[in-house]
Amino acid sequence: MAALHSRLGYYYYPDDLHYTQAELADWLPVLKSLGARWLTLHASPDRAIPELFLRGLLEADIEPIIHIPCDVGSIDADQISPLLGCYASWGIHYVVIFDRPNLRKKWDSNEWCRTQLVERFVDYILPILEAQQKVGLKPIFPPLEPGGDYWDTAFLQAALSSIIRRGRQPLLQDLIVGIYAWPFDKPLDWGAGGPDCWPEARPYHTPEGCQDQRGLHIFDWYSSAIDQAIHHPLPLLVVAGGALPENSEAGLGMDKHTERNISIARMLEDESIPGNVLNYCFYCLSSVSNAPDRDCSWFRTIEDYRPVVQAMRNFVQLPNMQPYPNQMDKPLQHYVLLPKGMDPEAISNWTVIGDFIQETRPVIGFSSAEAKLAARVTLIGNPHAFADSIEEELNLAGCIVSHLDVDPSINSDFDKSLAFEGELENLPVGEAHG
């Protein structure tokens, strides 16, 4: 098994405007707290990311992936080679040129409509891949849109077959394939096993009851396409991936967002995601306030972040990480754990959390042992209401843990001594709700 968290990464900003030394100083502690070993950086073909920024990441044992997502045909190998050489001299290994070339919008409209699209893309990308290899970078085939206007697995297989026909086998010994690994709205095991398990799936057609590559297990399908084309495996580089928030408003849709992303992180550790997948960069760390991807950001500011951030910090900091129990194996979906000193008859406290309880319809109780049976647990009370060991035990049991603070000033009985330790047996805990 790979070293703990060695494949864990993030996508920085979806622009090329945040590479000052001050921003590096701000974000490095954050990245370390999140266990970052990889970081995708959006870059321009016209200027380099500052060397000091990149060196700061490398010295922190964070591997930069520089992504230059320009349109197909907008640059060529002669134009980009000096920049590639510059990055290689600074110790960079991974530079990805182009982005989702199987989408119509990434091409000039006249170019897209011509025949032999894949062959013409290979005309563009092949000299760039060879330029990367020449200066000591890893040649990287750019990530495709899952599905896409030109079906991605067919595009990839045809492109690799074209490289073989052109006699560029030495390039294929070093080639890495970039991917986007989004779970979308599918279960995290969607498409597992690839076409060997789902032989009915065809380009542009997934029969009812069948699964395809448009889910987290896209790497199984790409590995199959690669094997069909060149008959040996290639490493896969996840430029971006992860579950995206369902709602832009803070607190809405976040439990599922947290749960799915922590589950993916655990899959990296228990090798449910195969070893030829080099990394996994969760999208996206942050974004400016008016950017289209603002709603996807884990951080609005360094101090203002979504629940997934603390959950990931808990995940990377826990020693002796155990394999993550399958969520489907958990008998309870959501448990609200109350501190034992909280009077269940304290109606004013329930007023504070009433909307939350009504919305999520959890099981409610005082038992940490019972809470371990739930997929996710919300701790009600101020930060000192529970012993640190309780949260650690819940994390080790595979629970996604979040906090909901209750202002003790609302009810004078909130800080009672542990008079209700025996109330668990008498508390009606309700029914589990999906």
| 44/356: higher pLDDT | 44
Q: What per-residue confidence (pLDDT) applies to 349?
A: 60
| Residue 59 structure tokens | 């010295």
What value does the mean pLDDT take over residues 356-382?
81
pLDDT at 348 over 80: no
Residue type, 157: Q
pLDDT for residue 26 is more than 50: yes
Q: Which two tokens stand for residue 73?
A: 């045909």
| Amino acid in position 325 | P
**Token output for 232:** 């040996």
pLDDT of residue 115: 96
The pLDDT of residue 412 is 34
Query: Is a pLDDT exceeding 90 seen at residue 219?
Result: yes
Judge whether residue 418 has pLDDT over 70.
no
Mean pLDDT of the chain: 86
329-426 shares the fold of 8-317: no
> Worst-scoring range by mean pLDDT, 31-40, 194-203, 417-426?
417-426
**Separation between Cα atoms, residue 314 and residue 396, nearest integer Å:** 10
Decide if pLDDT at 113 tops 90: yes
Amino acid 149: pLDDT: 98
DSSP 202: B
Sheet arrangement for strand 63-68: 94-97, 63-68, 38-42, 8-11, 280-282, 236-241, 176-181, 140-141
pLDDT at 327 over 60: no
Mean pLDDT lowest among 138-142, 171-175, 176-180, 269-273: 269-273
Helix axes 254-269, 307-317, angle to 10 degrees: 20
Helix, strand or coil, per DSSP, at residue 324? coil
Banded pLDDT at 261 (limits 50, 70, 90): very high
Query: Which candidate, 285, 294, 331, places its Cα nearest to that of 312?
Result: 285
Burial class (CB in 10 A: 0-12, 13-18, 19+), 83: buried
Q: Give the span between the Cα atoms of 129 and 132, in whole angstroms.
A: 5
pLDDT in tens, 153-175: 999 999 999 999 999 999 999 99
Question: 10 Å Cβ neighbour count for 14?
Answer: 22
pLDDT band at 371 (very low <50, low <70, confident <90, very high): confident
pLDDT score of 114: 96
| H/E stretch holding 68 | strand 63-68
Q: Take residue 294 and report the two structure tokens written for it.
A: 């603002």
- Please report the pLDDT score of residue 1 as a whole number: 45
104-113 burial by CB neighbour count: b if 16+ within 10 A, else e? Answer: eebbeeebbe
Thinking of the domain 329-426, which architecture would CATH place it in? 3-Layer(aba) Sandwich (3.40)
| Number of other residues whose CB lies within 10 A of the CB of residue 237 | 24
What fold, for 8-317? TIM Barrel (3.20.20)
CA-angle at 380, arms to 375 and 386, nearest 5°: 90
Q: Where are the domains of the chain?
A: 8-317, 329-426
pLDDT given for residue 247 in this prediction: 53
Find the range with the poorest average confidence among 45-59, 121-135, 217-231, 355-369. Answer: 355-369
The average pLDDT across 90-102 equals 98
Q: How large a percentage of the chain has pLDDT more than 90?
A: 64
- Structure-token match 């129990």, residue found: 325
**What is Dmax (Cα atoms) for the chain?**
79
Q: Which residues contact 96 (CB under 8 A, 6 or more apart)?
A: 65, 66, 67, 68, 69, 140, 142, 143, 178, 237, 239
**Least-confidence region, from 2-6, 127-131, 237-241:** 2-6
In the predicted model, is pLDDT for residue 392 greater than 60? yes
How large is the angle between the packed helices 117-135 and 152-165, nearest 10 degrees?
60
When pLDDT is cut at 50, 70 and 90, the band that residue 206 belongs to is very high
| pLDDT at residue 128, rounded to an integer | 98
Q: What CA–CA distance (Å, rounded) separates 331 from 345?
A: 27
| Residue 409: pLDDT over 90 | no
